[in-house]
Amino acid sequence: MADETDIEIREELAAADAVRPEKFERAICIRGLKNQFGDAVVHEDLSLDVRSGEILGVVGGSGTGKSVLMRSIIGLQTPAEGEIEVYGKTLDTIADEEESRDLRRRWGVMFQGGALFSTLSVAENIQVPLREYYPRLDTNLLDEIAAYKVEMVGLPPDAGPKFPAELSGGMVKRAGLARALALDPALLFLDEPTAGLDPIGAAKFDELIRELADTMGLTVFLITHDLDTLYATCDRVAVLAEKKVIAVGTIPELLATEHPWIQDYFNGPRGRAAAGGNQTAKHPVFGGDRNS
Amino acid sequence: MVARADFEHSDGADGAEVRFTGRLTLARLGDVPARLDALGPIATLDLSAIDRIDTVGAWIVTRAAKEHGSKVVGASAEAERLLDALASDKSEYRVHRDRRPAWMRMLEQVGDASAAVWNELLGIVGFFGAMIVALGTQIRARRRLRWNAIVTRFQTVGVDALPIIGLMSFLIGIVIAQQGAVQLEQFGLEVFTINLVGRASIRELGLLMTAIMVAGRSGSAFAAQIGTMKLTEEVDAMRTIGVSPMEAIVLPRVAASTITMPLLGFYASLCAIAGGGLFCWVGLDIPPLTYIQRLREIIPMTDFWIMLIKAPVFGILIGVTGCYEGMQVRQNAEEVGQRTTSAVVAAIFLVIVLDAMFAVFFSTLGWN
């Protein structure tokens, strides 16, 4: 039996708990964002909404600040101007440490290189957030959670005790995803999840993201260069150019816009190839509701 | 207010009927798993009254259902999806490495460590051989030595080290003189402090302390630089372009440390003697001129030769060990640190072992 204080603390926490992802129609709401490094302005007057439950792809040329945008949302980069609300809360204005932790555990982040802790095994990496936020969790349960997360992201059974250096590139990405999912977040940030993977591995990873998002009801903020990933997984796509989001919508909607960069992007040789390969797959963006 | 996870149970014929309420999620789990475990056989698990469920909640339900063979009822479509995703068998998924009994692990560690030391020695000797071969090919192919690279290393290994080595040797000279004087005074032989300082610095201490300092400053730097180059695949890139890493990276560094060591060693000996001289002047009232004259009488030329013979050998050793350890880096940034540490430890250890062997050797030669 858990002791009385534990229950009390939990109830207090529950009472103070205002971050309730399922209540929000928009998971992320960005208004008038400005980011700059010295004189170089990366974003200016950037606005973007991420709807709850959708997979939003973020595309843009190199250096348009896709990663900077993600870092601003998760609080690794303080914006010069503008407001970023995640589930109705703004990170910089949260004074209360407890509240900011409460918000942080709603999201999971998978960095481009995996960013696994190299001195810990894969299973221990997955357990780090769990131990941090729920230190009273039973060790057996911790191990079981690590085991099923390893399975969920499609790692082989013997991957748990391995160290990051012993894993292949694809496995590192999967392990990074498992750690991002450790706390069962409502919101998942993926920074170029398929970069550096072979086409088969990348296709499997796309499938995995789609599957996990459906099973766990995730909202996904997905930065990518990979056109196949856009066609295979994303509900909507946001295009970053000229320091702001120039267009958001499904791929057919984007194709209807006149903007030269968007036209070049989707109608270039690679864009067409990716579109051709996916039309037969009968995907949501080309009609059909994935929730049906 | 958000309800934490809870359940109520009523006893049925085949076991308890458990009805979950609230949010069956990681954050609101509370003592549910423990209480569930404490319950006897469970016939049904009813999920119809829960607010929300996540994978952890679904796992708790799945686990209980599997253990008691109970039925899960009232699951929403969302819960059903999660339960399906977790249904497969996970018994073969491992989390920890195999654990062996403590004594076995201890034996294993001792064995591993011994084997590692032996392999490292073999590796260093092998690496030295490879370096000699590389030097041979370079000379035979009449390719010029990379003087630019060597001279750059002179700067970092030699010139930049002058202040710290000088200060250290000077202080050590004072310490030897002071400690020696205390003992020799008891016999009224404090004038022999000069013998002690002079011979010890030229023959042993000046060079030994220099070797330790160079191993710490430059041996470690070699290992870290080369290790990082291995990680960023610079070394591989060099190979594919056709540049031998031995020629471009290792030889200049070893050459620099080999040539610098005698110079640094001699400089260190002079600094130690100066330190000793200062103490003799201030503490024992022996004027500098007398001190120098006495030094000329008591230090045999062989002491100087001994230092000059040992110095390049130590230089090669430090250079080779540093470069070898750097080249062994394969996987991650952490290894660079480990290899750097072992470069320093191995170099200092080998220098002292070799120094002892030299001491025995020269005594046998009669160079006392």
A201-249 pLDDT, tens digit per residue, is 888 889 889 988 888 888 999 998 888 888 888 999 999 888 888 889 9
- Most confidently modeled range among A115-129, A160-174, B231-245, B301-315: B301-315
- Nearest chain A residue to B2 by CA: give it: A14
Tell me what the mean pLDDT of segment B40-65 comes to. Answer: 86
The answer to whether residues B169 and B130 belong to one domain is no
Is A90 in contact with A83 (CB distance < 8 Å)? Answer: yes
A141: chain B residues, CB-CB within 8 Å: 33
Quote the tokens at residue A80. Answer: 């010069």
Q: How many angstroms separate the first and last alpha carbons of chain A?
A: 43
- Is residue B95 one of the residues assigned to a domain? no
Q: How far apart are CA B68 and CA A229, in angstroms?
A: 42
Tally of CB atoms within 10 A around A217:
18
Residue B252 CB contacts under 8 Å (≥ 6 apart), including other chains: B145, B146, B149, B150, B152, B153
Query: Distance, in angstroms, between B327 CA and closest chain A CA?
Result: 18
Q: What integer pLDDT is reported at residue A139 of this predicted model? A: 87
How many separate domains does chain B show?
3
B81: chain A residues, CB-CB within 8 Å: 214-215
Backbone dihedral region for residue A108 (phi beyond 0: left; psi -120 to 50: alpha; all else: beta): beta
Best of B51, B60, B93, B98 to mutate (most A CBs within 10 Å, chain A): B93
What pLDDT digit, counting tens, does each position of B316-358 carry? 999 999 999 999 998 778 889 999 999 999 999 999 999 999 9
E strand or H helix at B73, and its extent?
Answer: strand B71-73
Q: How far apart are CA B50 and CA B361, in angstroms?
A: 85
The answer to whether residues B176 and B47 belong to one domain is no
Give chain A's domains with CATH numbers.
23-106+187-192+219-224+236-277 (3.40.50.300)
- Given the DSSP bridges, would you call strands B50-53 and B71-73 parallel, antiparallel or unpaired? unpaired
Range of the domain at B135: 101-144
The answer to whether residues B111 and B206 belong to one domain is no
- Is residue B96 one of the residues assigned to a domain? no
ipTM above 0.90, yes or no: no
pLDDT over 70 (residue B133): yes
The answer to whether residues B31 and B131 belong to one domain is no
What pLDDT digit, counting tens, does each position of A271-289 carry? 777 777 655 444 444 444 4
A152-161, A217-226, A281-290, B66-75, range with the lowest pLDDT: A281-290
* B208 — pLDDT class (breaks 50, 70, 90): very high
φ, ψ dihedrals at B138, nearest 5°: -65, -40
What pLDDT digit, counting tens, does each position of A74-121 carry? 888 888 888 888 888 887 777 677 777 788 888 899 988 888 888 889
Quote the tokens at residue A83. Answer: 């407001």
- Is residue B246 one of the residues assigned to a domain? yes
Task: Give the nearest partner residue to B95 out of A123, A152, A216, using CB atoms.
Answer: A123
Q: What integer pLDDT is reported at residue B93 of this predicted model? A: 83
* A12 — pLDDT class (breaks 50, 70, 90): very low
Q: How far apart are CA A276 and CA A261, in angstroms?
A: 20
Is A73 in contact with A28 (CB distance < 8 Å)? Answer: yes
B88: chain A residues, CB-CB within 8 Å: 151
Of all residues in chain B, the percent with pLDDT exceeding 90 is 58
- Nearest chain B residue to A211 by CA: give it: B85
Q: State whether A217 and B334 contact (CB < 8 Å).
A: no
Q: State whether A147 and B93 contact (CB < 8 Å).
A: yes
The answer to whether residues B205 and B265 belong to one domain is yes
Q: What integer pLDDT is reported at residue B328 of this predicted model? A: 92
The answer to whether residues B223 and B273 belong to one domain is yes
State the Cα torsion B2-B6-B12-B15 to the nearest 10°: 140
**What residue type is A78 in one-letter code?**
T
Q: State whether A152 and B82 contact (CB < 8 Å).
A: no
∠ CA B339-B345-B347, nearest 5°, is 100
What pLDDT digit, counting tens, does each position of B259-270 carry? 999 999 999 999
> Which pTM was predicted?
0.67
* B74 — pLDDT class (breaks 50, 70, 90): confident
| Averaged pLDDT of chain B | 90
pLDDT over 70 (residue A9): no
The answer to whether residues B74 and B112 belong to one domain is no
**Any idea which residue has 């954050």 for tokens?**
B27
Q: What integer pLDDT is reported at residue A92 of this predicted model? A: 72
- Nearest chain B residue to A125 by CA: give it: B95
- Tell me the residues of B at the A interface, defined by beta carbons under 8 Å apart: 1-4, 25-28, 30-31, 33-35, 38, 52, 54-56, 59, 63, 78, 81-82, 85-86, 88, 90, 92-97, 331-334
* A19 — pLDDT class (breaks 50, 70, 90): low
Task: Give the nearest partner residue to A157 out of B2, B31, B93, using CB atoms.
Answer: B93
The answer to whether residues B136 and B154 belong to one domain is no
Size of interface A-B (CB pairs under 8 A): 95
In the Cβ-directed half-sphere of A209, how many Cα atoms lie within 13 Å? 37
- Is residue B94 one of the residues assigned to a domain? no
